[in-house]
């Protein structure tokens, strides 16, 4: 099906696709304009292998406007499982899970009718998004299983690695009552948002077995269904919905926003439920008919096609409203088209308080694709057309600070290649100079980071460059480089982002692509987090985050101009966020020293005291007063405040 044929298919303007129960009846609607017949098959269970499994009926649906097949059945069918059987003119018959299903049985092979009012945790109606000022935003990325799977986490065994592992707020290491873990730890770290790696239903973990495997989840199966392996009971579809919402509510009670990692760029395989519903429509193809694979791990969704765009927009809105999600991180966002991303931004903004919902993504793709109809990919070259509140991960910042992610031995500014200071200067102002061929409209568009789930952890990257083979050793050089790395991106304008555990030197022992496990490699090591040397590293992160919150101009979130750069020798960098170089009381001065030796730097006029010396950080000034000049510690970020 080419672009013109796709555009000739009828468009459905309603917002009620899927199974929608009320107290009296349940309506099923499916967009399948190329079908010649559709029936809905009802079941008592999610699979035939469960006790009580039986077919409850087969009902013929009728075609209506917009290519939609529909039927209304009596009663609220909450808890009933179903599939569609679709007949095509050429004789093919496809059995599919409803692409709009809101829950499912084990392994997602049957959808489940869900009445959201019957799948709500206690107090859900009172749940509200936390009010987080733009300058105070920062993101901490974690996988649901990684968060609490550690046997030392203090989380009860049946909740470890599950949605419910986020709900207790008083856990400690081995229940010692002293060293906080999980949410108890997170609520005092100073970050504002938790980004969760995929929590929708994905294909590569066997939900029917406790040891069903591990995967990051970038293999989408049912986009509007929570992942069953994260539920305490994957066989009853209402449980995953209720427990996922309970997780969100617990994070909200702790004052934290929730960002959802979404993968609308590709389907896991070419026989997805979407593709089998309207063959030839949902995925992009090359002129020879082969599906494009710009993600490198699946078949690209054709976001530029009208009903695909509608599906993606409505799916995002569903998660934002039904689960109170506070932000969306788009995997391989460049595989989405600009108009779709802008439509998502507009749809979110239409919600009450929706302008505060974060929206950002990866402005690259993993291979070639074939956008049709003049659509533009949502990459860094399209910033002129993207809404100013659609952000992007800045790989330029990432690589200039600690080295290229695709070359383990390649160094950056903090670990042996200070000449990258030129790019660090641009990072400070969120690349608004246009130095690398892209120019953000505002600082808040730029996600400033050095580590995420992909590639090496920060600690492992620093160890690779430094040729350190003992990942558990609290090496003094690596600790200094880690602190300096954090000190840089936490004083740059933009939105700071970190991988969970970066703040305590998280290691995966050199595994740069742990997407399918084992869990032992991926889980957060809460014992390591409380080793004295790594706990001190965490304290530095906590202090730098506090400084950032206390001095809003550091973020550039209110449209502040670029910082005033100080003239310093060699590869030293210094700047004043106030932009005029004067020493107003309460103003900051920030210095980076990438050298392994102490360096002298001149100070702006006035009297200054430290709030960070590169080892300790916090909002309370400490140490003596300085005028005229200051000796900077090796491999350090120093922050001073004017008296």
For the annotated catalytic residues, the residue numbers are 331, 362
Q: Give the whole-angstrom CA distance, residue 377 versus residue 369.
A: 10
What is the distance of C-alpha 56 from the center of its chain? 39
Q: Rounded to 10 degrees, what is the CA torsion of 107, 111, 114, 119?
A: 0
Q: Give the whole-angstrom CA distance, residue 263 versus residue 273.
A: 15
E-strand spans in 75-196? 81-87, 93-96, 103-104, 111-112, 139-142, 193-196
Q: Give the whole-angstrom CA distance, residue 31 versus residue 63.
A: 9
Q: Which two tokens stand for residue 41?
A: 């098959």
Count of C-beta atoms within a 10 Å radius of residue 206? 14
Place of tokens 């809101």: 102
Pairing of strands 81-87, 93-96: antiparallel
Place of tokens 């009012």: 117
Q: Give the whole-angstrom CA distance, residue 151 versus residue 267.
A: 34
Place of tokens 């790019």: 423
Do 228 and 259 meet the contact criterion of CB atoms below 8 Å apart?
no
Q: Which two tokens stand for residue 641?
A: 């405040």
Q: Which two tokens stand for residue 10?
A: 């009828």
Count of C-beta atoms within a 10 Å radius of residue 240? 30
Do 15 and 321 meet the contact criterion of CB atoms below 8 Å apart?
no
Q: At what angle do helices 476-489 and 395-402 cross, to 10 degrees?
A: 150
Which residues make Cβ contacts (< 8 Å) with residue 212, sequence separation at least 6? 205, 206, 229
Q: What H or E segment, with its residue span, contains residue 637?
A: strand 636-642
Q: Which two tokens stand for residue 586?
A: 């309460």
b/e map of 135-159 (b: 16 or more CB within 10 Å)? bbbbbbbbbbbbbbbbebbbbeeeb
């Amino acid at each position: 099906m080419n672009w013109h044929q796709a555009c000739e298919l009828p468009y459905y303007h309603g917002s009620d696709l899927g199974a929608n129960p009320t107290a009296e009846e349940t309506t099923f609607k499916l967009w399948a304009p190329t079908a010649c017949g559709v029936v809905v098959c009802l079941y008592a269970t999610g699979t035939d292998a469960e006790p009580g499994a039986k077919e409850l009926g087969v009902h013929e649906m009728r075609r209506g406007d917009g290519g939609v097949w529909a039927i209304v059945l009596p009663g609220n069918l909450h808890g009933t499982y179903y599939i569609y059987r679709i007949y095509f003119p050429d004789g093919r018959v496809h059995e599919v899970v409803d692409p709009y299903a809101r829950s499912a049985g084990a392994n997602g092979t049957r959808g489940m009718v869900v009445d959201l009012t019957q799948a709500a945790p206690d107090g859900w109606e009172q749940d509200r998004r936390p009010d987080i000022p733009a300058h105070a935003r920062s993101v901490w990325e974690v996988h649901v299983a990684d968060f609490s799977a550690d046997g030392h986490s203090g989380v009860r065994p049946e909740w470890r690695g599950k949605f419910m592992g986020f709900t207790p707020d008083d856990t400690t290491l081995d229940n010692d009552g002293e060293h906080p873990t999980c949410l108890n730890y997170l609520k005092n770290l100073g970050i504002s948002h938790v980004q969760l790696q995929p929590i929708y239903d994905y294909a590569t973990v066997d939900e029917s077995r406790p040891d069903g495997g591990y995967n990051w989840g970038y293999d989408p199966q049912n986009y509007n269904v929570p992942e069953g392996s994260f539920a305490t009971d994957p066989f009853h579809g209402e449980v995953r919905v209720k427990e996922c919402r309970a997780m969100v509510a617990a994070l909200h009670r702790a004052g934290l926003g929730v960002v959802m990692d979404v993968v609308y760029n590709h389907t896991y395989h070419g026989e997805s439920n979407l593709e089998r519903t309207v063959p030839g429509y949902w995925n992009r193809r090359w002129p020879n008919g082969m599906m494009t694979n710009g993600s490198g791990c699946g078949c690209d969704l054709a976001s530029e096609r009208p009903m695909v765009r509608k599906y993606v927009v409505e799916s995002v809105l569903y998660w934002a409203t039904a689960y109170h999600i506070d932000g969306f991180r788009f995997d391989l966002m460049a595989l989405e088209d600009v108009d779709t991303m802008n439509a998502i931004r507009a749809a979110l903004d239409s919600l009450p308080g929706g302008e505060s919902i974060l929206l950002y993504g990866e402005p690259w793709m993993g291979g070639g694709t074939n956008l049709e109809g003049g659509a533009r990919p949502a990459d860094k070259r399209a910033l002129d057309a993207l809404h100013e509140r659609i952000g992007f991960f800045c790989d330029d910042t990432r690589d200039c600070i600690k080295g290229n992610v695709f070359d383990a031995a390649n160094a950056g500014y903090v670990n042996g290649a200070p000449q990258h200071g030129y790019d660090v200067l641009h990072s400070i102002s969120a690349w608004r100079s246009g130095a690398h061929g892209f120019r953000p409209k505002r600082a808040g568009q730029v996600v400033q980071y050095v580590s995420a789930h992909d590639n090496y952890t920060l600690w492992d990257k620093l160890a690779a460059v430094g040729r350190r083979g003992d990942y558990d050793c609290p090496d003094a050089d690596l600790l200094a480089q880690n602190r300096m790395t954090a000190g840089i991106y936490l004083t740059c304008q933009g939105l700071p982002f970190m991988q969970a555990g970066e703040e305590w030197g998280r290691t995966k022992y050199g595994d740069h692509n742990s997407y399918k496990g084992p869990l032992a490699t991926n889980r957060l090591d809460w014992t390591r987090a409380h080793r004295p040397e790594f706990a001190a590293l965490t304290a530095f992160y906590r202090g730098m985050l506090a400084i950032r919150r206390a001095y809003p101009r550091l973020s550039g979130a209110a449209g502040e101009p670029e910082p005033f750069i100080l003239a310093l020798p060699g590869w030293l960098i210094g700047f004043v966020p106030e932009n005029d170089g004067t020493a107003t009381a309460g103003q900051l001065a920030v210095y980076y020293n990438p050298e392994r030796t102490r360096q002298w730097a001149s100070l702006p006029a006035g009297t200054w005291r430290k709030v960070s010396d590169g080892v300790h950080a916090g909002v309370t000034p400490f140490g003596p007063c300085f005028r005229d000049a200051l000796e900077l510690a090796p491999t350090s970020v120093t922050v001073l405040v004017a008296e």
